[in-house]
Structure 1
């Protein structure tokens, strides 16, 4: 991982962070792969999309993923708070469909601090909480060579304890089983041979 992303990713432990954008699920999976142990992924049962742990197998061992399906956001926040406070999970991911207020956001932060766990809320653009430690906008990026479906553009758009930035990243499928490799790469069109590939 490049030196300029390393201070920011994985995000600070014992805090709750947010990700938005169409690549936020990939961000969550890549974060989970960087951490040890089981991951709890909380989502509302009525959502039309289905989370398929096998679909993440290039990035994350599906056996590490625990999925909790809840009735609504109130239940999702209650489960996330308890799981963060318990401390037996390194990462708790919660998909939230409604805006997250300051008070629930602070409660999650206190629970993460108590349990020394990392929380990640997957939110719609504009639905974040002022209590979030960081917020990332994650967008899949088209690879003109058609070789890399994991290519993403990550914007760090909120950071309570540092600077903002952006990176193009990809998951190294060859190395992930041994080293969990996330690589910072050049933007499409800026890579060697890109002009030839698109010309």
Structure 2
């Protein structure tokens, strides 16, 4: 492996993590792949969001048949379904899509549920709040290097480790995942995030 490569910090199980940006879903699926260990994951969101998840696009990251879709028309339903799934611990990964970062009370409930069930929770948001009790906060954007497409991922909040940013080129489970839930990448300097002031 190129000596300039390193590993992106793993997402801890039993915790809830927040991911934003146009590359959020791709990054979340990459991180979920290593945590699933051959088991199913739940994708919880609006019917429109779930309908946009095309199997052909998903198969680069995970087996589409391993993703169980839970359609919830209301935000309160998404949060309830996610909390219930995280607490039950029947799946290793729960992905949920929301327009914005949940309020502190709701996110703390999700955190407690994840701690109880031991599952990994990943929240995909389009609008980020100024603060969040999430274990980590990430911002992910598509990028290019010549003909290679990839992701620029920034870890701008981490309760228990380093922060930073990385490039993933030619990304996909085959290219980057070591089988231990670790993603090989190239360091990209200081993290960036929406507004630059959010923590």
TM class by shorter chain equals: 0.7 to 0.9
Report which of the two structures shows the higher radius of gyration computed on alpha carbons: 1
Q: Distance in 2 between matches of 1:22 and 1:31?
A: 16
Q: Deviation digits for residues 26-73 of structure 1, max 9, x if unmatched?
A: 011101211211110111114496112331112211111111111111
Which residue in the other structure is 1:159 paired with? Answer: 158
In the TM superposition, 1:24-103 aligns within 5 A as: 24-35=24-35, 36=37, 37-47=39-49, 50-103=52-105
Q: Which residue of 2 aligns with 1:21?
A: 21
Counterpart for residue 118 of structure 1: 120
SS in 2 for 1:31: helix
CA drift of 1:163 comes to 2.4
Higher relative contact order (CA 8 A, sep 6+): 2
Looking at structure 1, the residues matched to 34 and 133 of structure 2 have their Cα atoms a distance apart, in angstroms, of: 24
Q: TM-score, normalised by structure 2?
A: 0.81
Moved more, 74-83 or 123-132: 123-132
- Aligned partner of 1:191 in structure 2 is none
Structure 1 unmatched runs, 5+: 188-199
Q: Give 1:175 deviation, angstroms.
A: 5.0
C-alpha contact (below 8 Å) 2:32/2:93 kept by paired residues: yes
In structure 2, stretches of 5+ residues that fail to align are: 189-199
> Which residue pairs with 1:130 in the alignment?
132
More strand by share: 2
Distance 1:130 1:18 in 2: 9
Counterpart position of 1:109: 111
| RMSD between aligned residues | 2.6
- In structure 1, C-alpha distance between the alignment counterparts of 2:83 and 2:127, rounded to whole Å: 22
Compute the displacement of 1:143 (Å). 2.7
**What count of residue pairs does the alignment treat as equivalent?**
182
Equivalent position to 1:139, from 125, 138, 141: 141
